Chain A
Amino acid sequence: MANHSCSKESLTSVLQRKADRQAANVPKGPLVARREFVSSGSGTVGFTLAAAISPGLSAGILSQPQSEIPVPELSLPIVDTNVYLSSWPFRLLPEAEPARLVEKLRAYRVVQAWAGNFDALLHRDLAAVNTRLVRSCRATGGFLLPFPAINPKLPNWQEDLRQVVEEFAAPGIRLHPDYHGYSLDDADFIELLGQAAEHRLIVQLALMAEDERTVHPAVKVPSVDPKPLVDIIPGIRGLRCVLLNAQRVTPLPLLAKIVASGTVYVDISWQEGVGGVANLLSYVPAERVIFGSYFPRFYFLSAVLKLLESAISGEALANIIHKNALSLLEQR
């Protein structure tokens, strides 16, 4: 299988070098965030979240020359496992242009992003959607990794899977059971999981695209019940699964069970509640939590600020923001 993107080894070592370099510059110390008030020439005053959080979550002024309102940044490189190309069907997002998406992600220290395509929610010609996705990803020189969509309720989805493996050489697939209208005990879905595992594909299961309370009235999207996963996952040998957008439909105790049922990871994009990521970590080990922003449908900074709010640091932070994603890729 040709690898369309960057070599895994080189990316890992680049990230490690970068992390080491930056860790050396970040003051080690207790988990404290201190505010500093800084005056600007124009008389307005902004604040910086100068967090001496060791050894990685450093917040400071992101170089945004036009802004007096500084924005925190992570000092470690980020692998974002939950971004989308094209536009949300009900709203034109400014970052629907891949170039703008990539520019913004890079500005926030993202070094690699795993991309799906919003067109996959409603378009039935998934082969065309996936082809566009792969073409756009390749144009970024490996910055975006494609996660094409498969709908196991469409006839001959096996051909889409063959294309993903043989033509696209994609690292994984992204499934949308809500918009594609199947439950997680569906036989075709289970068959797809099995075949994906045989091909060593990472399966990203996007449990929810939008809060059920705000969906467009013309669209009836059923809420997906994740409970069947607890029984299904142990039966599929070699499955590696990442739950995206999970928390609204998956209470943390259930999430813990699903994660423990196999090689399952969960992203932080939909983790809510004050100190939410810390709460998540009391149910799921940091080795199974993974950075996902759900950008550009969500503001990217939401995921970053959640790490800051929960004062995630050290090994846990490194695991969440890139190590777990990279080790998943390496297991292929």
Chain B
Amino acid sequence: MDFEIWDAHVHLSGVPGATPEERLGRLLEFADRLGIRRVCVFMGLRWSYDPSPEEFRRQNDEVLRAIAAFPHRAFGFVYLNPKHTTASLEEIERCVVEGPMVGIKLWVAERCHSPLLDPIVARAVELQLPILQHTYLKATGNLPGESTPQDLAELARRHPRACFIAAHSGAQWEVGIRAFKPHRNIHAELCGFDPTNGVTEMAVRELGAERVIFGSDAGGRSFASQLAKVLDADISPHAKELILGGNLKRILAPSLARKGFG
């Protein structure tokens, strides 16, 4: 089996470019220098904390346009707002069932332990889609709709058959990993905080390498600092292969098979 680095968390930000595909092209040039083969992309050129349906549709359109230009390099995750249930479910149909996207991205519109997420999670389970949920613990105070790792643990307990990817592992990762541990359906994703020595070792020790996933949060972060968290960790080569691509490949397998990706 060919080993490839797959990045679970990339945005169309941090690089110049008037169009989504120009920006993704620039990002992939940097990814190439570090051997990153595939990237999961979500959210558009301009963001808002609490997007209206028109707004998240526009952002998803931009991602659709970007990934269409690089079909062998980029996967799309559909960006939703749980406060708009019907529109979110329709957007899943449009972008995933009838479109090429392979996962769901939820950011900071609504804390993820809210019952508002239940219909979205139920549909994700039917479609075998992973949900990548932003989790952050900020000493400076979270945004009103910003999820903590504990919020995600609560959601995962309610939906044992769903597959969650915990973006940022809560940033205060000793706390995040502790919250995720009892829930086998949560994967700790490593992006979007400084390359703090020890994070990957602790995640592998507590969760097992099968539950740890590499992501960069490029272009806001560098691919480099985030990749170092895995390449420089004191873990086995097999664990590195799982974290850098193997786990994401496994999680996305049903979607990729459905869509005829190799």
Q: A residues engaging B (CB < 8 A)?
A: 33, 35, 37, 44-47, 49, 51, 66-69, 71, 91, 93-95, 210-217, 270-276, 295-302, 304-306, 308-309, 311
- On whether A71 and B198 interact (CB within 8 A), knowing A305-B227, A309-B34, the answer reads no
State how many angstroms separate the Cβ of A307 from the closest Cβ of chain B. 8
Contact of B197 among A35, A216, A270, A295 (CB under 8 A): A295
Q: With a CB–CB cut-off of 8 A, which chain A residues contact B228?
A: 298-302, 304-305
Q: With a CB–CB cut-off of 8 A, which chain A residues contact B3?
A: 44-47, 68-69
Q: With a CB–CB cut-off of 8 A, which chain A residues contact B123?
A: none
Q: Tell me if B's interface is mostly helix, strand, loop or mixed.
A: loop
A300 to B232 Cα, complex, angstroms? 7
Q: Do B221 and A274 touch (CB < 8 A)?
A: yes
Q: Do A274 and B231 touch (CB < 8 A)?
A: no
State how many angstroms separate the Cβ of B63 from the closest Cβ of chain A. 17
Q: With a CB–CB cut-off of 8 A, which chain A residues contact B220?
A: 272-273
State how many angstroms separate the Cβ of A280 from the closest Cβ of chain B. 11
A312 to B94 Cα, complex, angstroms? 43
- 27 A–B contacts, CB within 8 A, in A order: A35-B35, A44-B3, A47-B3, A47-B5, A66-B237, A67-B237, A68-B3, A69-B3, A69-B237, A93-B197, A211-B171, A214-B137, A270-B194, A272-B221, A273-B14, A273-B222, A274-B30, A276-B222, A276-B224, A304-B228, A305-B223, A305-B224, A305-B227, A306-B222, A309-B30, A309-B224, A311-B33
Enumerate B52-72 residues with CB–CB distance to A below 8 Å: none
- On whether A33 and B237 interact (CB within 8 A), knowing A212-B139, A214-B172, A274-B14, the answer reads no
Q: B residues engaging A (CB < 8 A)?
A: 1-5, 14-15, 27, 30, 32-35, 136-140, 171-172, 174, 193-198, 218-225, 227-229, 231-234, 236-238, 240-241, 244
A289 to B201 Cα, complex, angstroms? 31
Q: Do A33 and B139 touch (CB < 8 A)?
A: no
Q: Do A214 and B224 touch (CB < 8 A)?
A: no
State how many angstroms separate the Cβ of A223 from the closest Cβ of chain B. 9
New A-B pairs, 4, CB < 8 Å, besides A274-B15, A305-B222: A273-B221, A301-B228, A305-B34, A305-B223
A256 to B2 Cα, complex, angstroms? 44
Q: Do B222 and A71 touch (CB < 8 A)?
A: no
A300 to B195 Cα, complex, angstroms? 9
Q: Do A217 and B139 touch (CB < 8 A)?
A: yes
Contact of B237 among A68, A210, A301, A306 (CB under 8 A): A68
Q: Do B33 and A51 touch (CB < 8 A)?
A: yes
Interface centre among B2, B140, B174, B195, by most A CB within 10 Å?
A: B195
Contact of A214 among B193, B231, B238 (CB under 8 A): B193
A88 to B174 Cα, complex, angstroms? 14
Q: With a CB–CB cut-off of 8 A, which chain A residues contact B27?
A: 274
Q: Do A69 and B222 touch (CB < 8 A)?
A: no
Q: Do A275 and B240 touch (CB < 8 A)?
A: no
A71 to B136 Cα, complex, angstroms? 30
